[in-house]
Amino acid sequence: MRSWHLVAYDVRDDRRLRQTARVLEGYGERVQFSVFRCRLTKTELERLRWELAQVLEPADDLLIIPLCDRCAGAIRQRKGQSWDAESTFRIV
């Protein structure tokens, strides 16, 4: 069974930053520069954590937040001057 996760990172080195983004692009959709929304099985989540552990250093930060389907569907983002399809806001 797949579940949603919000993954955010703060990487202090440009090379590791690009590597981290490349890894995450294979698992989910970018919602901000350093934030991804991923729908993963438990095995995929463990694999993602392992892959990121190979790239990240102790000085780097990684945040993985599990989301329910309703919360994941309620994520809204603004690109440029307009919001995406629906402008409903929920506090998560």
CATH code for position 27: 3.30.70.240
pTM of the model: 0.81
92 part of a folded domain: no
30 part of a folded domain: yes
What is the predicted pLDDT for the residue at 82?
67
Report whether 38 contacts 5 (CB < 8 A). yes
Burial class of residue 53, CB neighbours in 10 A (0-12, 13-18, 19+): exposed
Count up the domains in the chain and report the number.
1
The domain containing residue 17 runs over which residues?
3-83
Which helix (H) or strand (E) element contains residue 17?
A: helix 14-25
What are the φ/ψ torsions at residue 78 (nearest 5 degrees)? Answer: -110, 125
28 part of a folded domain: yes
39 part of a folded domain: yes
Report whether 31 contacts 21 (CB < 8 A). no
33's CB contacts (< 8 A; 6+ apart) are none
12 part of a folded domain: yes
62 part of a folded domain: yes
50 part of a folded domain: yes
Categorize the per-residue pLDDT at 70 as very low, low, confident or very high, splitting at 50, 70 and 90. confident
32 part of a folded domain: yes
